[in-house]
Amino acid sequence: MDIVIIGGVAAGAKAAAKAKRIQPDANVKIYTDENHVSYSSCGLPYFIEGNFTDYRTLLVRSVEEFAASGIDVYLNSRVEKILPIQKDILIARENEAELVKYDKLIIATGARAKIPQIKGVNKFNNIYTLRKIEDGIKIRNKMLESSVVTIIGSGYIGLELLEAFVKNGLRVNVIEANKKIMGSFDDDISDLIKKRLESSSIGNFEFYTGEVVTEFIGENNNVKSVKTESGKEIQTDMVVLCAGVEPNIEIAKDAGIEIGPTGAIRVNKLMHTSIEDIFACGDCAEKKHIVSGRPVWIPLGSTANKEGRCAAMNAAGEYCEFEGVLGSTVTRCLNTTMSKTGLTEEEAKEVGFSPISALVLKTDRVAYMPEAGDITLKVVADKVTGLLLGGQAIGAVGADKRINTLTSALIGHLTVEAFNNNDLTYAPPYSTTIDPLLNAMQILTAKMAKLRQN
């Protein structure tokens, strides 16, 4: 039995390892167009920041380790075509081509950085994107000889790089076309994130929101400044494009595999695509949102691991259903943790819920403890049913803890009323007597009671 996997970062590497464990006699092969396999791309900002200096720290499993467990990894081997009828894939390698037979195929081609169509974007060597290990090495090396960097985009990667650059002493400009930074949060929370970051005592940086970059200007292959629609011209030594990602679906689409409404590869709960014996998982695959029931495309390393495992189980003859995602995320920038799960209030409205929300601002643990820090927590529920829909938390400490506590509640489809009974742990070094989450539930309970009276 030949189990062939296209892509080898998170989902692909996990799928290969799992498939081989289930079917030790199967031929399990990974084809990747990259130079590395099985690495933590989420760790690249921390490599750039200098938390560790050897990029190999990011490697989860080497080609040799895969070989030792009987898995063949083919690096620098781009898959040109999937031929579903004859069950082959066509590999392009240097100047030769090769047909490789599969019984089960797992597509884990991931995503790539979006390149905004800005004048000059392809003209300069010091404009970067961050996806692969090589990108990380290049950015770090350039950073070490730069004084000013400009980040285009203010999502997760943008803010993680802001921290990395600032901690290395650079002046950082963050240019964001939208009016708010961290656009996946509700407006009120996004505003607080910006204020909180701007109040940080560390770092020399500025946010330019609502600024559209119109041109990169420079000479000798080097960008020197960034021009915006409003007429600003911002000097810079380097640029990193953090304008989002898009799924690598071309070879799947070309093979006739169905693409979902989000633009990613459509899969069912078994991670199976529309064509027999072909699975897809990780950043190239569409997901179902557990709260809204809608198809979404939220590419994350943690999801990629789960989907890779599930796809492999089904490909190798076991059974696994993947229920979907909550869109849970967490990140850090300087003094601020930002975390969310489920639907924002805006998203809840869009998909047809009647959301109400509670906003709690307090210390994350008892204020007399020296480690206490602030936390802002927003919890969203449906005002008709009381069903919990999502939460967002930011602050110095404990935001990730509150959001993870909510994820289990969302998986369990808990209402506000049921959550009121939650017996959260309490001791002064860890929480307030009434945890911020329970404060939020009390506010929601009171709001719903008031609505029922009217």
Which residue type does 358 have? Answer: A
Stretch that binds a second copy, among 183-191, 231-239, 351-359, 434-442 (CB under 8 A): 434-442
The contact pattern for a second copy, residues 383-422, with x = CB under 8 A and - = no contact, is: -----------------xxxxxxxxxx-xxxx---xxxxx
382 touches a second copy by CB under 8 A:
no
Q: How far is the CB of 37 from a second copy (least distance, A)?
A: 15
452 touches a second copy by CB under 8 A:
no
Q: How far is the CB of 218 from a second copy (least distance, A)?
A: 33
151 touches a second copy by CB under 8 A:
no
Q: Compare residues 20 and 227 and give the one whose CB is closer to a second copy.
A: 20
Stretch that binds a second copy, among 67-75, 96-104, 210-218, 333-341 (CB under 8 A): 333-341
290 touches a second copy by CB under 8 A:
yes
Residue matched to tokens 């730069």: 146
Give SS3 for 121.
coil
Looking at residues 343 to 362 of the shown chain, list those that interact with a second copy (rule: CB under 8 A): none
Name the E strands within 110-169: 111-113, 127-128, 148-152
Q: How far is the CB of 359 from a second copy (least distance, A)?
A: 20
CB 213 within 8 A of CB 181: no
369 touches a second copy by CB under 8 A:
yes
Residue 63 CB neighbours (<10 A): 18
* Cβ-count burial 11-26 (b if 16+ within 10 Å, e if not): bbbbbbbbbbeebeeb
Which distant-in-sequence residues (6+ apart) come within 8 Å of 231 by Cβ?
none
Stretch that binds a second copy, among 181-189, 197-205, 208-216, 325-333 (CB under 8 A): 325-333
Q: How far is the CB of 369 from a second copy (least distance, A)?
A: 6
Q: How far is the CB of 241 from a second copy (least distance, A)?
A: 21
Q: What order do you get walking across the sheet with 233-235 strand by strand?
A: 213-219, 222-228, 233-235
334 touches a second copy by CB under 8 A:
no
Q: How far is the CB of 227 from a second copy (least distance, A)?
A: 33
Looking at residues 26 to 85 of the shown chain, list those that interact with a second copy (rule: CB under 8 A): 40, 42-43, 46, 51-52, 57-58
154 touches a second copy by CB under 8 A:
no
327 touches a second copy by CB under 8 A:
yes
Looking at residues 294 to 323 of the shown chain, list those that interact with a second copy (rule: CB under 8 A): 300-303, 305-306, 322-323
Catalytic residue among 42, 281, 284, 310: 42
The residues pairing with 4 across neighbouring beta strands, listed in sequence order, are: 29, 105
Verify whether residue 42 is a known catalytic residue: yes
φ and ψ at 298, to 5 degrees?
Answer: -125, 95
Structure-derived torsion over alpha carbons of residues 404, 406, 409, 413, reported in degrees to the nearest 10: -120
Two tokens at 403? 């959001």
- Annotate 212-275 with DSSP letters as a single string: -EEEEEEETTEEEEEEETTS-EEE-SEEEE-S-EEE--HHHHHTT--B-TTSSBP--TT-B-SS
Q: How far is the CB of 234 from a second copy (least distance, A)?
A: 29
CB 31 within 8 A of CB 9: no
431 touches a second copy by CB under 8 A:
yes
The residues pairing with 238 across neighbouring beta strands, listed in sequence order, are: 149
Two tokens at 302? 């943690």
Looking at residues 227 to 266 of the shown chain, list those that interact with a second copy (rule: CB under 8 A): none
φ and ψ at 106, to 5 degrees?
Answer: -120, 115
CB 163 within 8 A of CB 333: yes
Q: What residues are labeled active site? A: 42
Binding site for a second copy (CB under 8 A): 10, 40, 42-43, 46, 51-52, 57-58, 156, 290, 300-303, 305-306, 322-332, 337, 339, 341, 366, 368-370, 400-409, 411-414, 418-431, 433-435, 438
